């Protein structure tokens, strides 16, 4: 049985998997990482199992060393195999074009691997979280490069904190905003969608799918210009966790 963990800047997602069967999954705010062991054990008790039944733990962690230490506590006895995933030159059919392969974020790497196995063709992978990442795969599974920009909430927050005359308020999306809250919110939506659409146009392939994941995926999806896409952008939950499972399966098959 495998425990998969996707530790991001805002949330820690995890799933318990046996073979190809997803037994259970849940989310914990990253700020509560100190409760991770108790949180997971509490849910495992409901399944009449526990950490002692887990053979391997596979982790994507982009939240820093303090979070990594909390994750290591899940294996304090060192009785299991704990794997922190690092991007490689080649893995699970995907080739890494980054100038330094290991510097590519493990979340982006795992998401690309999952997307490649879902579509097996040129595609755009968009992970919409604290940051929005927009990565391109070729029809041969080669990572061609990608963008990192602030997520929708972070764009608004950074403007409010760095600009004296702006105050935080929940806005609504409109094409031509007539108040500051709507201008901030609509600007963040437009900037995010614009970046996605420009990267998609650079593919020169209107049949390439767009795979969206992350907490803001459902927020952005309705505002993307569907005239650009032959296939409407699809949302895939837990794309990073799916990629971690594929990495675990390939590693165990060796």
Choice among 107, 182, 205, 237 that is catalytic? 107
Contact 150, 131 (CB under 8 A): yes
- Cα-Cα-Cα-Cα torsion 191, 197, 198, 199, nearest 10 degrees, comes to 110
Write down the residue that tokens 């098959």 correspond to.
253
Other residues' Cβ atoms within 10 Å of the Cβ of residue 206: 11
Quickly count helices (H) and strands (E) in the chain.
7, 12
- Cα 100–147–212 angle (5° rounding)? 115
CA 216 to chain centre: 10
How many C-beta atoms surround the C-beta of residue 183 within 10 A? 16
Helices 239-252 and 106-119, packing angle to 10 deg: 80
φ, ψ of residue 234 to 5 degrees: the values are -105, 145
Q: Is 107 a catalytic residue?
A: yes
Q: What is the CA radius of gyration of the chain?
A: 19
Between strands 131-137 and 234-235, the pairing is unpaired
CA–CA dist 27, 19 (Å, integer): 21
The whole-angstrom separation of Cα 157 and Cα 151 is 10
Which residues participate in catalysis according to the annotation?
Answer: 107
């Amino acid at each position: 049985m495998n425990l998969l963990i996707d530790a991001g800047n805002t949330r820690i997602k995890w799933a318990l998997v046996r073979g190809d069967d997803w037994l259970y999954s849940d989310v914990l705010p990253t700020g509560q990482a100190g409760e991770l062991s108790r949180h997971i054990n509490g849910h495992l008790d409901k399944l009449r199992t526990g950490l002692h039944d887990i053979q391997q733990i596979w982790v994507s962690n982009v939240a820093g060393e303090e979070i990594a230490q909390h994750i290591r506590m899940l294996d304090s006895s060192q009785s299991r195999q704990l794997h922190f995933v690092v991007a490689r030159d080649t893995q699970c059919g995907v080739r890494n074009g980054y100038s330094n392969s290991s510097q590519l974020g493990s979340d982006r790497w795992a998401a690309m691997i999952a997307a490649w196995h879902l579509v097996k063709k040129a595609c755009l992978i968009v992970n919409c979280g604290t940051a929005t990442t927009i990565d391109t795969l070729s029809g041969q599974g080669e990572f061609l490069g990608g963008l990192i920009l602030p997520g929708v909430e972070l764009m608004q927050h950074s403007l409010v904190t760095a600009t004296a005359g702006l105050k935080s308020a929940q806005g609504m999306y409109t094409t031509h905003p007539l108040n500051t809250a709507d201008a901030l919110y609509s600007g963040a939506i437009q900037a995010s969608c614009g970046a996605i659409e420009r990267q998609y146009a650079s593919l020169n392939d209107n049949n390439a799918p767009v795979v969206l994941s992350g907490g803001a995926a459902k927020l952005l999806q309705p505002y993307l210009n569907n005239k650009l896409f032959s296939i409407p952008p699809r949302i895939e939950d837990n794309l990073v966790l799916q990629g971690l499972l594929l990495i675990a399966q390939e590693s165990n098959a060796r």
